[in-house]
Amino acid sequence: MLTNLLDFEADGERIGLLNANQASSWSHRASAAALLVGGAVAARRAQRAVGHRRLWGATAVALILLFVVEVSPVHVEVDRLSYGKLVYVPILACLVLCVLRLLDGSDQMHMLWLGLAMLAASYAVHVFGPPAVRALGWGTDSAAYQLKVGLKEGTELSGWTLLVTVLWRARADPPHAAPRPPVSRRAEASPMGCRQSEQA
């Protein structure tokens, strides 16, 4: 967000690497890299998993699809459609459900919820930000609009980074409590009984 505002306020032609409106910006590239890494991690976990192979596989597919959309012209074409932003909903819903199932009960849940909150905030800004800015009388060449763009990109990058981090730390198969071994009658005996048997 800061680099986008600094680039907007600077005199002269805008720099593509800092301009968050462009697919060539560093924030877009970083988000795409996070999606690619997350997809690779999930695919690797799917190969090693026993009981959660399908969940890891679906997670990998969702992340790779989002990566392809991010780095291809599809991203621009989808955004031009009036209902385009709804295209992402099924993919994101599948991803969220899979990740919640995979990390259920783990010590990474707080970081996961924070990452999902960041992604939800980014999606909300992406959907409702442009009409809200226009309703207030600001155009795309205003600082307010560029603030909206920077906020959307910043929360998105933070969310993907947190999500990939928890996937990296997660195990292929979450550990389950081992079954409690049966207690022998001798172990159930009272201390008095044990001392009596030892004296005998």
Angle, CA of 19, 23 and 28, to the nearest 5°: 80
- Positive or negative, the CA dihedral 65, 44, 92, 27 is negative
Q: What percent of the chain has pLDDT over 90?
A: 31
Determine, yes or no, domain membership for 180.
no
In a domain, 181, yes or no: no
Give the Cα separation of 108 and 117 in Å (integer).
14
178 inside domain = no
Q: What is the pLDDT of residue 87?
A: 81
Q: Mean pLDDT throughout 12-16?
A: 49
Query: Over the stretch 70-91, which tens digit does the pLDDT of each residue have?
Result: 888 776 677 676 666 778 889 9
- The verdict on residue 111 lying in a domain is yes
In a domain, 145, yes or no: yes
Token pair 């907007």 is found at 8
Q: Is 198 contained in some domain?
A: no
pLDDT score at 40: 94
**What's the pLDDT tens digit per position in 123-158?**
888 888 878 878 888 776 777 777 778 888 888 889
Mean pLDDT computed over 152-181: 75
pLDDT of residue 99: 94
142, 135 contact by CB (below 8 A): no
pTM of the model: 0.71
Domain extent at residue 10: 2-172
Question: What value does the mean pLDDT of the chain take?
Answer: 76
In a domain, 195, yes or no: no
- Is 76 inside a domain boundary? yes
Per-residue pLDDT for 192 more than 50? no
pLDDT-wise least confident of 36-50, 85-99, 103-117, 164-178: 164-178
Q: How far apart are CA 102 and CA 53, in angstroms?
A: 10
Q: How many domains does the chain have?
A: 1
